[in-house]
Amino acid sequence: MSTIKKEPKSHFIKLLGKEDFNVFKPVGLSFLEAEFFRMEAHNHDGPYNFSLVVYDVEEYNQDEYCEGQLEGNAIACDGDHFSENGSGELRIILKPENVHWLRFFVSPFRFQAISHFEFYEPSGNLLKRIEGRSGWVDYKVPLQDMKTARIARVSIYFKIDFRAVVVDSFELGQWEQYP
């Protein structure tokens, strides 16, 4: 029998908000204003940008539907023949002050163009870099850094293509102490 003593947990992540994009109408934009963040489309290789397109996952491609992760409306980064193959950045600027945790879902059908994800502090200092992948992208500020570090924005870097990156199901939270 193990004699390892577990210490009681002192903190938990309190959910600040969620966004699944189901209240947005399908349009092509260079930015999208949501309740908890602002999304911006940036093309680093030229004057032609890509669009942020709100689309119904099930209507567009039934194979892409993934219950609880990629369903209803999602956000797609759509290029065209002017911006194709450029270097794109989907910049997500968080509105709440003390965000310590952020996660979102990236479509497994459209992640190959993603180079990496970067999480930044308000000062612009890099907190974490995660290599490109699909599924849940999840970053939490370490508990010992909760008083000095917070997430102010995340950037997704990718090669612009037609429907290059699809994201959905954003959740953000902060560290809270148990009462």
Residue 3 CA to residue 146 CA, distance in Å, equals 31
Give the count of alpha carbons within 13 A of 55, CB side only: 19
List, for residues 80-110, the tens digit of each pLDDT value. Answer: 766 667 788 999 999 999 999 999 998 877 6
Q: What is the pLDDT of residues 40-56, one digit of tens each?
A: 988 877 666 777 888 77
Give the Cβ contact number of residue 119 at 10 Å.
22
Q: How many domains does the chain divide into?
A: 1
Which CATH number do you get for residue 74?
2.60.120
Let me know if residue 24 belongs to a domain: yes
Which of these, 103, 102, 105, lies nearest to 66 by C-alpha position? 105
Indicate whether 4 belongs to any domain.
Answer: no
Query: What does the pLDDT read at residue 131?
Result: 95
Looking at the domain assignment, is residue 3 inside a domain? no
Give domain status of residue 116, yes or no. yes
Q: Which residues of 51-87 are buried (b: 16+ CB within 10 A; e: fewer)?
A: ebbbbebeebeeebbbeebbbebbbbbbbeeebeebe
* Residue range(s) defining the domain that contains residue 70: 11-177
Q: Is 5 within the bounds of a domain?
A: no
How many Cβ atoms from other residues are within 10 Å of residue 148's Cβ?
Answer: 8
